[in-house]
Amino acid sequence: MSEHLLVQLFLSGIGMGFIFALIAIGLTLIYGVMNVVNFAHGEFLMLSMYASYLAFATWGADPVVTLPFVAAMMFIFGLLVYYVLVRRVMRGSMNAQIFATFGLMVFLQAAAQFIMGADYFAVRSGVLSGVLEVGSFTLPAPQLAAVVGASTATGALYWLVFRTGTGRSLRAASQDRQAASTLGIDVDRMYALAWGIGAACVGVAGSLLSNFYPVFPRVGAMFVLIAYVAVALGGFGSIHGALVAGVIIGLLQVLAGFFISSQLKFVPVYLLYLIVVLVRPRGLFGRL
Amino acid sequence: MVPPEKTLLKLLALAGLVGVLLVLPMALSDRPFELRMMVVIFLYAMLGHGWNILGGYAGQISVGHGLFFGLGAYTSTVLSLKLGLNPWLGMAAGGAVAAAAGVLVGIPCFRLKGHYFVIATLVVAESVFQLFTAWDWVGGAMGLQLPVKEEGLLNLQFHRNKVPYYYIALGMLAAVTAFVWWLEQSRFGYILRALRDDEEAARSLGYSPVTHKLLAMALSAGIVGTGGVFFAQYVLFIDPFSVLALSFSVVIALIPILGGAGTVAGPILGAIVLVPISEYSRVLFSGTGRNVDLLIYGFLIMLISVYRPDGLAGLFRAKRERREYVPG
Amino acid sequence: MQTRIPVVRCIVSFCLAFWLGLAHSADEVRIGALYPLSGQVAKSGEDTVNAIRLAVDIINNKHPDLAVPFAATEGLPALGNAKIVLIVADHQGSPETGAAEAERLVVQQKAVALIGAFHSSVAATSSQVAERMGVPYISGESEATTLTERGFKWFFRTTPSSRTQARDFFTFLRELNKRSKDQVRTLAVVHENTLWGQEFAKSVEGYMPEFSDFKLVADIGYQQGTADVTSEVQRLIAAKPDVVFHASYDAEAILFARTYKQYKFSPRGVMAIGAAFGSSAFREALGPDANFYLVREHWSRDLASKNRAVAQVAKLYRDRYGKDMDGTPARAFAAMMTLADAINRAGSADPKKVRDALAATNLAPDKLIMPWTGIRFDQTGQNDLTRGIFVQTLEGAPRMVWPFDQAAAKLVWPRPAGR
């Protein structure tokens, strides 16, 4: 058991963790602003992966190049989902909100299979499919990109939320909807924005993932479970919480997979989640 | 107040329905597809009732209820294989184990609110699923095959003719429906709904949320667990993918949601609508591999959440309320 | 058990059934096919059913140039040129649905025989229905070893079991060791965690005492659908095996292959069971990195050099369905042909006669498109004349490299470094 191996495991785990974080950030943003968990988040990921793949298959476009377009497309899709579906259940009970995104999840998965079939598709050797050798350590490029991407996204979101007028409005709308609208803030627009940005974040994640992970209708399911855990672990609504939690999960699953059992490597993750959430219901950084 | 003629009418309709259900198998004796579909409807309605106690009445949405179904199925199957235990006793054991598991899960998880709870149920169910696929003693991914025994009520196995399963499932559904109907009217049911609608207020009135939720969970899990035992005896083969999978948990929740969470009729309506859609779309669209039934489910759920969060049962209730609200 | 016999009803139904039976057998033989046509393996299910459809079409219509049984005639000669009607049912990968569909096919669709089911768990329950109802069931691709260990009389399997397939891995390595000075000693098994993967791993473990010249240094199972395989690959690297035995489906095959490349894991050979590592999806996704993976296959286009029918059928399949045939559709094709041969020899569509004809099957290798030495069922219903081949992806195409005396291309071993 060499130190080299241990360090490599750490690096790989953290890298993977940033990918999980990127998926979780969008989810936590939506929750933070409007107290709604998007149960269809995994399908947003799946859609962005399909988009990346289709751009590659049709025009030979590299996912790195199409990343901003996929993000923009997902932004619009997020807005669409808000205006067509979510807005109408905001007045309803929490259960109605849960059911709504739940139904969306089932629908999108089925629609993907309906349109694209159940086949696996993979992008071949994009720019980001290689590795970076740092000394004797291997850093896979997609994960490096995720580190950059997730950090940038977190930074950008922080800047947006805490240093801009729009951000102020977002925060106001999330804290007290009534008060915010009496202050002239278009709460509806803020909610839509949250959905758009949240979807765009997961769009970036999907674009990066498509560099090395194949896409198929149910690809979102595994990732989204991890994202839920990351969001709850980090604390619903906390962006840096999602980042930290994502990285912890990435690390834990690699270490557990190596030292305990690769078949059950997520069980320690789930256990950690349950423990943290019981000892500290609002998660690591949440503000309940 | 509902006028007495209405009640009589309702009772007659109910009796008529029961009558039809009792004789239906004779018409279906050589139509195994339809017969089986009825059994599935009864089973899912029963599972929906179970879910409903926790999700509809107590307001705790669980998307991990497949866990209890699987635990019930595995308990009775393992006991049958290792100790030769009779499946009826196995049903009691399966229900008990599921109920106990429910309480074990509930104790920590009920401290969580809303979405946190939902995700916790998801996480627990997925963990158990993964553990079972790696656990050799219960067959791992290969599953467990129940030995073919002499058919009869004693062994809860029927080979040549599946009609007895129909009556057993119908009987179980009737029993659970009656139980839920009674529960709804009972003080316990009232407290559950109070807790669901405003926990703080209920607590201030002296009702302990945790004990009541745990009891609801035990009942909910226990019912779903006995359904699992029935399933095991029906198929005579179980594996983690057919009794513990997350997708199955989703279906258990979808049915009462669609039909109307928090009502007695809800799970039944939900099953009556969803199961045939699923079955017929599979048979009709065989060979296209296109998941049309899920497409329809998902769309229906979204529609319901927007227009009728009360589910299909809400459609009827709204009508009745409107009619009764006639001024004059 | 006592039964009451409603006499009039009986006579009427008997007449009806007789008339219907006559009506059916005069011009058709109804066969039920059970496959997963929705859900995750829908595409594989569809590909497999297509091969059966192709077989049925060849049987039913005149194809004078094909070197395949029943091609020259229309329908089944011994049954007055009766045509086969294939009724396809989707079991969605669920054992319970499979059993229900089996019953529906037999009772409501009047199928006289069943073919299926891809998933072994579904084959188990659906063949149990067939056993109970006295209807022959043939499986061309369900590999769980226990399927033929149940003492069933109506279940027949043309494909080799998982255990038989695992044996080929060892046979291959022993032969390889005889030919080269660099001996392969250590192996690792990587497998997904459903029935298929677990069975393969168990079979491999089961052979270790017999093949004691090898040592198992790692047994790595993983959850199907896993997001990341870093820990699995790192465990492999730490175990330093000479050779890796791999059981994965498409998505993870691609993920593993990419991760192997990222961490520069390159054992002397990666040998896979199942078609994933040689599939067109895999080759398209990995490009040149798909080369040198070895797949224990059931069939290869390269068999055409010895058997004209192979090329003809492969071309027909490709023309009609737009995809290349691989081992699973090929096996399903063979199974359907075997069933047709049995029905023809029985001279009738009566299930009992068909069953007996199946049990007496003795098909010579030149009647098949498979590399087997024939089809003959032992008393458990298992075809014991199967042979495996190894196929290696070379320059982007799958080439048959073993058995060495029938190889179409030379095996590249060990894998070139850095791949």
Place of tokens 């029993």: B175
Cα separation of B46 and C273, whole Å? 42
User: One fold for both C7-160+305-367 and C163-297+389-406?
Assistant: yes
Strands (E), C276-345: 294-297
- CATH number (3.10.20.30, 3.40.50.2300, 3.50.50.60, 3.40.720.10) of C7-160+305-367 reads 3.40.50.2300
Whether B283 has its CB under 8 Å from any CB of chain C: the answer is yes
- The CA angle B182-B207-B189, to the nearest 5 degrees, is 15
| Domain layout of chain C by residue ranges | 7-160+305-367, 163-297+389-406
Who contacts C33 (Cβ-Cβ below 8 Å, separation ≥6)?
C49, C52, C86, C87, C88, C89, C114, C115, C116
What is the reported pTM?
Answer: 0.87
B283 contacts in C (CB within 8 Å)?
89-90, 104
Half-sphere exposure of B183 (CA within 13 A, CB side): 25
Q: Please write the tens of the pLDDT for every residue from A174-187.
A: 778 778 888 888 88
Whether A139 has its CB under 8 Å from any CB of chain C: the answer is no
Question: Structure tokens of C387?
Answer: 């042979």
pLDDT at A134: 84
Q: Which of B306, B310, B312 to mutate to test the interface with A (most CBs of A within 10 A)?
A: B306
Whether B134 has its CB under 8 Å from any CB of chain A: the answer is yes
Q: Which of A106, A270, A274 sits opposite B294 (nearest CB)?
A: A106
Please say whether the beta carbons of A100 and B302 come within 8 A: yes
Q: Diameter of chain A by CA atoms?
A: 63
B231 contacts in C (CB within 8 Å)?
96
Q: Please write the tens of the pLDDT for every residue from A22-40.
A: 899 989 988 888 888 888 9
Place of tokens 């080979």: B159
Residue B142 and residue C198: Cβ atoms within 8 Å? yes
pLDDT over 70 at C13, yes or no: no
Please say whether the beta carbons of C190 and C216 come within 8 A: no
pLDDT over 90 at C118, yes or no: yes
Cα separation of B133 and B144, whole Å? 12
Report ipTM for this prediction: 0.87
Mean pLDDT value of segment A111-131: 82
Distance set, CA A75 to CA A1, A69, A192, A197, B82 (Å): 46, 10, 10, 6, 56
Q: Please write the tens of the pLDDT for every residue from C330-350.
A: 999 999 999 999 999 999 999
Please say whether the beta carbons of B230 and B90 come within 8 A: no
Q: Please, which residues bridge with residue A139 across strands?
A: A132
Mean pLDDT over the full length of chain A: 87
Please say whether the beta carbons of C396 and C278 come within 8 A: no
| Integer Rg of chain C from CA | 22
Please say whether the beta carbons of A218 and C249 come within 8 A: no
Mean pLDDT value of segment A228-255: 91
| Amino acid present at C407 | A
Residue C42 and residue A125: Cβ atoms within 8 Å? no
Place of tokens 């949320």: B209
Mean pLDDT value of segment A227-237: 88
Half-sphere exposure of A141 (CA within 13 A, CB side): 16
For residue B93, whether the previous peptide bond is cis, meaning omega lies within 30 degrees of 0, is no
Residue C231 and residue A223: Cβ atoms within 8 Å? no
pLDDT over 60 at A79, yes or no: yes
Q: Please write the tens of the pLDDT for every residue from C137-152.
A: 999 999 999 999 999 9
Strands (E), C78-199: 83-90, 113-116, 137-139, 155-157, 186-192
Q: Phi then psi for C296, rounded to 5 degrees?
A: -80, 105
* Of residues A285 and A41, more confidently modeled: A41
Cα distance from B187 to chain A (closest Cα, Å)?
24
In chain C, residues 141-200 whose CB comes closer than 8 Å to chain B? 144, 146, 193-195, 197-199
Who contacts A245 (Cβ-Cβ below 8 Å, separation ≥6)?
A21, A24, A229, A230, A231, A233, A234, A235, A283, A284
| Amino acid present at C123 | A
Give the residue from C300, C297, C306 showing the smallest Cα distance to C159.
Answer: C297
Handedness of CA C95, C323, C277, A12 (dihedral sign): negative
Cα separation of C217 and C238, whole Å? 10
- Fold observed for domain C163-297+389-406: Rossmann fold (3.40.50)
Place of tokens 């109920």: B99
Burial of A35 (0-12, 13-18, 19+ CB in 10 A): middle
Whether C198 has its CB under 8 Å from any CB of chain A: the answer is no
Give the residue from B55, B49, B272 showing the smallest Cα distance to B176.
Answer: B49
Percent of chain C topping pLDDT 90: 76
Cα separation of C300 and C327, whole Å? 7
pLDDT over 80 at A94, yes or no: no
Q: Please, which residues bridge with residue C186 across strands?
A: C215
Cα separation of A213 and B59, whole Å? 38
pLDDT at B289: 52
Who contacts B284 (Cβ-Cβ below 8 Å, separation ≥6)?
none
Cα separation of A32 and A25, whole Å? 10
- Regions in chain B scoring below 70 on pLDDT: 1-3, 286-290, 315-328
DSSP secondary structure code for residue A83 in this structure: I
DSSP secondary structure code for residue B53 in this structure: I
Q: Please write the tens of the pLDDT for every residue from A143-157.
A: 888 888 888 888 888
Cα separation of C18 and C213, whole Å? 62
Half-sphere exposure of B94 (CA within 13 A, CB side): 32
Q: Which of C225, C232, C254 sits opposite A257 (nearest CB)?
A: C232
Helices B246-259 and B311-324: crossing angle, nearest 10°?
10
Q: Please write the tens of the pLDDT for every residue from B260-296.
A: 888 898 999 999 988 888 888 777 776 555 677 778 8
Give the residue from C112, C116, C34 showing the smallest Cα distance to C76.
Answer: C112
pLDDT at B53: 93
Alpha helix stretches (DSSP H) within B236-245: 240-243
Cα distance from B10 to chain C (closest Cα, Å)?
35
In chain B, residues 268-307 whose CB comes closer than 8 Å to chain A? 289-292, 294-295, 297-306
Please say whether the beta carbons of A16 and A213 come within 8 A: no
pLDDT at B321: 53
Residue B119 and residue A271: Cβ atoms within 8 Å? no
Please say whether the beta carbons of C244 and C270 come within 8 A: yes
Whether A85 has its CB under 8 Å from any CB of chain B: the answer is yes
A271 contacts in B (CB within 8 Å)?
127
Place of tokens 């979807």: A199
Cα distance from B112 to chain A (closest Cα, Å)?
7
Cα separation of A265 and A251, whole Å? 11
Neighbours of chain C (3+ CB pairs under 8 A): A, B
Label residues B182-214 b or e (16+ Cβ within 10 Å = b). ebbeeebbebbbbbbeeeeebeeeebebeebbb
Question: Structure tokens of C355?
Answer: 């069953």
* Of residues B29 and A231, more confidently modeled: A231
Residue A114 and residue B309: Cβ atoms within 8 Å? no
Burial of C115 (0-12, 13-18, 19+ CB in 10 A): buried
Place of tokens 């969605």: C92
Cα separation of A86 and A81, whole Å? 6
Place of tokens 């690390």: A251
Percent of chain A topping pLDDT 90: 34
B245 contacts in C (CB within 8 Å)?
none
Query: What region does A62 belong to: left with phi over 0, alpha with psi -120 to 50, or beta?
Result: beta
Beta carbon pairs, A and C, within 8 Å: 103
Question: Structure tokens of B176?
Answer: 């659970």
* Separate counts of helices (H) and strands (E) for chain B: 14, 2
pLDDT over 90 at A284, yes or no: no
Please say whether the beta carbons of A46 and A108 come within 8 A: yes
Mean pLDDT value of segment C235-264: 92
